[in-house]
Amino acid sequence: MANKKNKKKKPTKQTKHVVKKKYTEEEKARLANYHKRSEWKPVKFKNIDSDSGEPTIALKDPDDPLCEVKMLEALGTPDSALQSHLLDQVIQTFKGTVSTDGADNDKVVQACNNALSVLNGIQPQDEVEGLLAVQMIGVHNVAMQAMNRAMLGGQTSHGKQANIDQATKMLRTFIAQIEVLKKYRAKGQQKMMVGQVNVNEGGRAIVGTVNQRRITTKSL
């Protein structure tokens, strides 16, 4: 009988996900940023069969306790009717969602989820920003569709140039919208530059820009 003690165990191969990796500080920061961004999960929709037999769009996770909060954060308004109105407007700017034959529910759901992902990243703070965010998505979609048409073969040089011109106008509008959003968000920040400040010994003086979110101080 062979001696079992003399048998050598075959070395097990470690899979890549088991091997411990030492991350650099830069990689750790990137991973932390990824996980932080991943926590802000937008609302998702799906297709369901209604009682009437017609396909209907509904929330993918209706039991999510933060659903109303997420919709507010994505569209800048707590008004559910306005939320639906804005979503309906932005969905129609996605290619293939609406045609003369009616709406394609699969494409509508995909467009709705894509739009909410973008809006979740923009995070409009009020109704004005919500309107602007929806417009930005629409302008981007029109620009991309025009660029796509410009790449099609078999068209005249005039037709190609017309599509390029339209895309260029939309891209310039998009850049202008970003600047408008930045300026509008800065509306509540009161800026005060301090030239000369007299303080008692051991005191503290406010130096630099003062706004609602941050106060920079420096001990003198």
Span 139-169, pLDDT tens digits: 999 999 999 999 999 989 999 999 999 999 9
Tokens at residue 2, please? 């062979």
Q: Rounded to an integer, what is the distance from CA 143 to the centroid of its chain? A: 18
d(Cα 79, Cα 115) in Å, to the nearest integer? 18
Of 127, 136, 206, the C-alpha closest to 178 is 136
Tokens at residue 216, please? 């920079």
Tokens at residue 83, please? 């939320």
Tokens at residue 160, please? 């190609």
In the block, residue with structure tokens 């703070």: 125
d(Cα 176, Cα 16) in Å, to the nearest integer? 46
What pLDDT score was predicted for residue 48?
A: 84
d(Cα 69, Cα 124) in Å, to the nearest integer? 13
pLDDT at 190 exceeding the cut of 70: no
Is pLDDT larger for residue 13 or for residue 36? 36
- On whether the pTM is more than 0.75, the answer is no
Is pLDDT larger for residue 134 or for residue 206? 134
**C-alpha torsion angle, residues 176, 181, 187, 192 (rounded to 10):** -70
pLDDT at 120 exceeding the cut of 90: yes
Work out the angle at residue 62's Cα, subtended by the Cα atoms of residues 61 and 64, and round it to the nearest 5 degrees. Answer: 70
What pLDDT score was predicted for residue 187?
A: 82
Q: Between the CA of residue 36 and those of 30, 64, 73, 83, 213, what are the distances in Å?
A: 10, 19, 16, 26, 20
Of 170, 176, 177, the C-alpha closest to 146 is 170
Is pLDDT larger for residue 143 or for residue 209? 143
- How many residues are given for the chain? 220
* 56 φ, ψ (degrees, to nearest 5): -130, 145
d(Cα 88, Cα 143) in Å, to the nearest integer? 19
Of 116, 160, 125, 165, the C-alpha closest to 143 is 165
What pLDDT score was predicted for residue 3?
A: 57
Is pLDDT larger for residue 72 or for residue 205? 72
* Predicted confidence band of residue 51 (pLDDT cuts 50, 70, 90): confident
